[in-house]
Structure 1
């Protein structure tokens, strides 16, 4: 029996932007996935020293940005969890919820693949799901190095995809809002409206 294939896209989404949506849609179609689940992080372990917008605002913006696509959904799993958001805990919860009949494809930037050893229980992660490296310019070699470094697990469980590039970052968007510069065509209109209505990033 063929397994169901579901993509997982975690992130701070502070705010979610068109680059996130473009990558998700590309991976969805390229790997013939059933759906992509966006997972806003609560307390990302790699951003403990940075000020992050309240989780509820980021969660609402992610829902607003994804409602147009019936194959996108948003999970509040990490937001409801206390403490730091470790990917290993999230993947284990999804495996428990969906069972063995589902294969999970965790999508991340190719630069993050290069740092996989720093992730909590990274070898267990590779056993539980596939990793999809959405390549950023200059990082393809690092993905190939990572595949080789992790041996059979890396060769079998890390997938490299040359995804379309939009040079957009959430950091730049926050800075543009702060400086009263336009963010139209960088984020979905509904997200732009929410940011201004709630006075975020001022």
Structure 2
């Protein structure tokens, strides 16, 4: 049976932290593939400063290009309205119809808000939750069974990347080179 990871996010922009999380999850869980799933309109975030989905999708494509273990899904960006994880997990579940075990990869920030997620009880029936966290973060009190993967020392967020870009500071080592070139060429986040 195949092992498929699902890493959803706004990816506004995608950065090396996202790639490192996907790689660590792939290695630790023996995943055959990790799908990056850019959201259309995330339910827990303001869409005020979010680039159009086509641009975010393109940046993820550039970031994962050449990695045979990474792929991208346009499922959420092709949907109208808000992107809910239950719809994405059901999509992948139906796509593989019992031929794959699904692992839904989230960060500790998303984990802290699980009780607000739509149909969380159904999601956990279809996929294992994998929480990527920093050492010392406790997920043992969770009512939901989760696996954890520690990611020490990688404190990068899309919002901090956008802030640096707005302030004219370098983000050279935070973004894949092609993504940085694209952002500069299109004058994004300034």
TM-score when normalising by structure 1 = 0.90
Provide runs of 4+ in structure 1 moved above 6 Å.
Answer: none
1:99 paired residue number: 97
Cα drift, residue 138 of structure 1:
4.6
Distance (whole Å) between structure 1 residues aligned to residue 112 and residue 53 of structure 2: 27
Q: Residue 86 of structure 2: SS of its match in structure 1? A: helix
Instruction: Report if the CA contact (8 A) 1:19-1:166 is conserved.
Output: yes
Distance (whole Å) between structure 2 residues aligned to residue 186 and residue 60 of structure 1: 17
2:133 paired residue number: 135
Distance (whole Å) between structure 1 residues aligned to residue 184 and residue 119 of structure 2: 40
Q: Which runs of 5+ in 1 are unaligned?
A: none
Q: Residue 61 of structure 1: SS of its match in structure 2? A: helix
Q: Does 1:60 align with 2:48?
A: no
Instruction: Report if the CA contact (8 A) 1:66-1:72 is conserved.
Output: yes
Cα drift, residue 112 of structure 1:
1.9
Distance (whole Å) between structure 1 residues aligned to residue 14 and residue 120 of structure 2: 26
Instruction: Report if the CA contact (8 A) 2:135-2:152 is conserved.
Output: no
Distance (whole Å) between structure 1 residues aligned to residue 47 and residue 4 of structure 2: 32
Structure with higher helix content = 1
2:158 paired residue number: 170
Distance (whole Å) between structure 2 residues aligned to residue 57 and residue 110 of structure 1: 26
1:15-26 equivalences under 5 Å are 15-26=13-24
Cα drift, residue 122 of structure 1:
0.3
TM-score when normalising by structure 2 = 0.95
Q: Which runs of 5+ in 2 are unaligned?
A: none
- Tell me which moved more, 165-174 or 19-28: 165-174
Distance (whole Å) between structure 2 residues aligned to residue 60 and residue 138 of structure 1: 35
Distance (whole Å) between structure 1 residues aligned to residue 52 and residue 18 of structure 2: 19
Report how many aligned residue pairs link the two structures: 190
